[in-house]
Chains A and B, each alone.
Chain A
Amino acid sequence: MSNKPTRPTDPLIGNDSWNIQLDSNGRLKHFLTIEGLGSDMLTSILDTAESFANVNEQRVKKVPLLRGKTIVNLFFEASTRTRTTFELAAKRLSADILNINISTSATTKGESLLDTLQNLQAMLCDMFIVRHSDSGAAHFIAGNVAPHISVINAGDGRHAHPTQAMLDMFTIRRNKGRDFGGLRVAIVGDLLHSRVARSQIHALNILNTGDVRVIAPKTLLPTDVEDMGVSIYNDLEAGIKDADVIIMLRLQKERMQGAFLPSEHEYYSQYGLTEDRLRVARDDAIVMHPGPINRGVEIESRVADGVRSVILDQVTYGISVRMAVMSMVLGREPEQNATETN
């Protein structure tokens, strides 16, 4: 055997590095990506979120599950909604939460990400919620923090945004039931730059969704995206035909600069979701959007505000889902043997 290199056994799962998000008992220690998690784990997150949804509808919207825990919102990239819902979720679980925006401060002073982490770690917190513009940033941070700290990925580059994907699954489940097998889900827009879409695709496939479609012009589709388990459509109406769920993605204005598209106007004329086009989807199709929406760019106002739209529900459910993930991660029993992979 001396000739054989020590290489990962399964090239897609690799060594245990995907599973740095699981502890030695197989429970969620970090929440970095949907990829590599099982359907049981996703279902358990959704079920837990369901129980918190009830809390959120009470007059006193607070439970003492995470009292005494300190959570740091560590945002290297601007965000209002995601940061706010994490903050609200932490508060409803009775945790202490600290907001740190590093988008311009430390890193421009030449401090490395690792230095920043070590300084924050010295503040004795229990969890980092991280958003960063680099793909893989959350993995990097999880691999470099002290063992008692958990990391939740609130969006890393184009790679993953797992809590957003889970709140989207939650929204679909509330509207379409627990069985995803018969569902046709269409994701429309800038797939190339979208971490949300990547996480959604993983989640939909793990939950055995019958048909997952992506719809975009070729300039906004990642190479070999079909390997992630989706079918590709370059035409909007063909793609959303008979769809049960339509997920619209935000189009960033700067996409014109990189010559991905000629104009917002032309994009809307070809890929904008209008009432008119929506007719080819199923009558009971729901329309989702991770927000913030660009009215008249990717979606018509009548659709965004219409009866099919569940866009504001998504925001509400985001709190329950984030409460679920935080409580599962921080509420774990101590590990029996502390031999972790990282």
Chain B
Amino acid sequence: MNRLLVSNGLILDPVTQSVKTSNVYIADGNIIAIDHEPVGFEADLSIDATGLIISPGLVDLSARLREPGLEFKADIHSEVTAAASAGITTLCCPPDTDPVIDEPAVVELIHRKAVNASHTKVVTLGALTRGLEGNLLSEMATLKAAGCVGVSNSRRPVANTLILRRAYSYAANFGITVFIEPDEHWLSTGGCAHDGKVATRLGLQGIPVSAETVAISRALELILETGARAHFGRLSSAHGVELIRRAKEQGMTITADVSAHQLFLSEMDINSFNSMCHVLPPLRSQRDMEALREALKDGVIDAICSDHQPHEPDAKQAPFASTQAGISSLETLLPLTLRLVHEQVVPTYTALSLVSTQPAAILGIDAGVLATNRPADICIYDPEQDWQLDTSTMLSRGKNTPFEGWNFQGKVRHTIIDGRLVYTA
């Protein structure tokens, strides 16, 4: 079965910003035609998409799969299955697995398991420093050859700025994008909430905004000097956004993303020690949340990612500071992004572009567009369907989400990856 017809759907193309009711013809993994039926095309399988939206499959810039190393939380098979059900056709796995992604064997292991799982495609980031320890350079060229789409030190510190400068310089030498999760370790360590009125009231150790902005400032200076291509991930603060805005205005070719939950939750949601809202970087003030939303409108932020971090139930069953940070968020990436449209933050094209076309460009992969002779990675969703998030029906093994019980509009009905129908609701 390698020929697929998706008929009569509303094709929403974020690149051309056009919408039309039409058909998509797929063969051998690629889109071979839109609108006009190719001569002699006989579909092995037809999907009636009447009333449904056909969008590029989602590309998620950051999702922890927990394998290798933390299989008691989740594994590649469980998480790519969940991702596919959420319309995500490619996801990017950060290097902080155990062992970390600092040698080709780990890259190959993850890629092989992902291929075998045969759902969402997985790309990987290699470690910026060996073991993510911040002391020695990783074999970046080797990691790139093994398939890594970039390098990152995730949230682990590189204390020595000279080593960081050389790492950026070395990455620039091979044209490898550096993915930065800005965090000044000494300012954030031990903290579990935004350093503001809620942390003060609850007696939680705060993480100041400067933990983010000091790290961004340091990185920006080194990027300027080394010419590295860099992406800043998981912005959380208005001031952080401002630094990125200024750097872009000065002509720096940097990009940035925000995790979806930062656009809907603030420090107030921690309320009475709700450990589901324990995330890093922390949920910040209402003002920060609004600045992040604004940055989506004017293009300072280029992408929205899930920052998926599935946990076993025990990880969240403890006093707040002792719980593990993170949200299981693959399955709320599209729903929250569509909510931005409903709340009139961004139009539909922009919203879809933020989770498909633009993250694909950041990763430098052939994805995120609906066009002939391009991979048939497609998300088909019902824009009208109302539903409520019930963690018991989530496919991710991590049920840790603060969005339980939220009402959403718009639900994935089919996901096509490389021309194969991998999910149908």
Interface residues of A (CB under 8 A from B): 1-8, 11-12, 14-15, 17-18, 20, 35, 112-114, 132, 134-137, 139-140, 144, 156-160, 195, 198, 222-225, 227-228
**What's the Cα separation between A158 and B195 when bound, in Å?**
14
Interface residues of B (CB under 8 A from A): 195-197, 199-206, 208, 264, 268-269, 271-274, 314, 317-322, 339, 342-343, 386, 403, 405-407, 409
Find A8's partner among B196, B208, B271 (CB 8 Å cutoff): B271
Measured CB to CB, the closest approach of chain A to B295, in angstroms, equals: 22
Find B201's partner among A4, A112, A137, A198 (CB 8 Å cutoff): A198
A-B contact pairs, 17 of them (CB 8 A): A3-B409, A8-B271, A14-B272, A15-B271, A114-B317, A132-B319, A135-B202, A135-B204, A135-B273, A136-B204, A139-B319, A140-B273, A157-B204, A160-B203, A198-B201, A223-B199, A228-B197
Q: Is there contact, CB below 8 Å, between A224 and B202?
A: no
**What's the Cα separation between A144 and B202 when bound, in Å?**
19
4 other A-B residue contacts (CB within 8 Å) besides A3-B409, A114-B314: A3-B407, A5-B403, A134-B319, A136-B319
Measured CB to CB, the closest approach of chain B to A32, in angstroms, equals: 9
Q: Is there contact, CB below 8 Å, between A227 and B200?
A: yes
CB-nearest residue of chain B to A3: B342
Q: Is there contact, CB below 8 Å, between A112 and B318?
A: yes
Majority secondary structure of chain A interface residues (helix, strand, loop or mixed) = loop
**What's the Cα separation between A47 and B337 when bound, in Å?**
54
Q: What residues on B are CB-neighbors of A159 within 8 Å?
A: 202-204
Find A224's partner among B200, B264, B271, B405 (CB 8 Å cutoff): B200
**What's the Cα separation between A176 and B196 when bound, in Å?**
34
Task: Identify the 10 closest CB pairs spanning chains A and B, nearest first.
Answer: A158-B203, A159-B203, A134-B319, A136-B273, A17-B272, A14-B271, A222-B200, A135-B203, A224-B197, A137-B319
Q: Is there contact, CB below 8 Å, between B200 and A228?
A: yes
Q: Is there contact, CB below 8 Å, between A6 and B407?
A: yes
CB-nearest residue of chain B to A136: B273
Q: Is there contact, CB below 8 Å, between A225 and B386?
A: no
Measured CB to CB, the closest approach of chain B to A297, in angstroms, equals: 23
Using known A-B contacts A6-B407, A225-B200, A227-B197, determine if residue A156 contacts B271 with beta carbons closer than 8 Å: no
Find B320's partner among A1, A18, A136, A224 (CB 8 Å cutoff): A136
Q: Is there contact, CB below 8 Å, between A113 and B318?
A: yes
Q: Is there contact, CB below 8 Å, between B201 and A5?
A: no
**What's the Cα separation between A157 and B264 when bound, in Å?**
29
A-B pairs with beta carbons under 8 A, tally: 108
Measured CB to CB, the closest approach of chain A to B340, in angstroms, equals: 12
Q: Is there contact, CB below 8 Å, between B409 and A135?
A: no
CB-nearest residue of chain A to B201: A228
Q: What residues on B are CB-neighbors of A7 within 8 Å?
A: 269
CB-nearest residue of chain A to B264: A5
Measured CB to CB, the closest approach of chain B to A132, in angstroms, equals: 7
Using known A-B contacts A134-B322, A158-B203, determine if residue A5 contacts B406 with beta carbons closer than 8 Å: yes
CB-nearest residue of chain B to A35: B201
Q: Is there contact, CB below 8 Å, between B196 and A134?
A: no
Q: Is there contact, CB below 8 Å, between B405 and A156?
A: no
Q: What residues on A are CB-neighbors of B201 within 8 Å?
A: 35, 198, 227-228
**What's the Cα separation between A255 and B208 when bound, in Å?**
19
Using known A-B contacts A3-B409, A5-B406, A198-B203, determine if residue A223 contacts B196 with beta carbons closer than 8 Å: yes
Q: Is there contact, CB below 8 Å, between B268 and A134?
A: no
CB-nearest residue of chain A to B319: A134
Q: What residues on B are CB-neighbors of A112 within 8 Å?
A: 314, 317-318
Q: Is there contact, CB below 8 Å, between A135 and B320?
A: yes
Using known A-B contacts A14-B271, A17-B271, A224-B196, determine if residue A6 contacts B318 with beta carbons closer than 8 Å: no
**What's the Cα separation between A197 and B179 when bound, in Å?**
42
Q: What residues on A are CB-neighbors of B204 within 8 Å?
A: 135-136, 157-159
Measured CB to CB, the closest approach of chain B to A106, in angstroms, equals: 14
Find B273's partner among A8, A139, A144 (CB 8 Å cutoff): A139
**What's the Cα separation between A160 and B204 when bound, in Å?**
11
Q: Is there contact, CB below 8 Å, between B203 and A157?
A: yes
Q: Is there contact, CB below 8 Å, between B319 and A156?
A: yes
**What's the Cα separation between A157 and B201 when bound, in Å?**
12
Listed residue (A1, A20, A132, A137) with the most chain B CB atoms within 10 angstroms of its CB: A137
**What's the Cα separation between A113 and B271 when bound, in Å?**
22
Q: What residues on B are CB-neighbors of A3 within 8 Å?
A: 339, 342-343, 407, 409
Q: What residues on A are CB-neighbors of B200 within 8 Å?
A: 222-225, 227-228
Q: Is there contact, CB below 8 Å, between B405 and A18?
A: no
Q: What residues on A are CB-neighbors of B321 within 8 Å?
A: 134-136, 157
Q: What residues on B are CB-neighbors of A132 within 8 Å?
A: 319
**What's the Cα separation between A112 and B406 when bound, in Å?**
30
Q: Is there contact, CB below 8 Å, between A136 and B407?
A: no
CB-nearest residue of chain B to A144: B317
Q: Is there contact, CB below 8 Å, between B195 and A223?
A: yes
**What's the Cα separation between A240 and B197 when bound, in Å?**
25
Measured CB to CB, the closest approach of chain A to B279, in angstroms, equals: 16
Q: Is there contact, CB below 8 Å, between A195 and B203?
A: yes
Measured CB to CB, the closest approach of chain B to A92, in angstroms, equals: 30
Measured CB to CB, the closest approach of chain B to A303, in angstroms, equals: 28
**What's the Cα separation between A217 and B199 when bound, in Å?**
19
**What's the Cα separation between A224 and B196 when bound, in Å?**
6
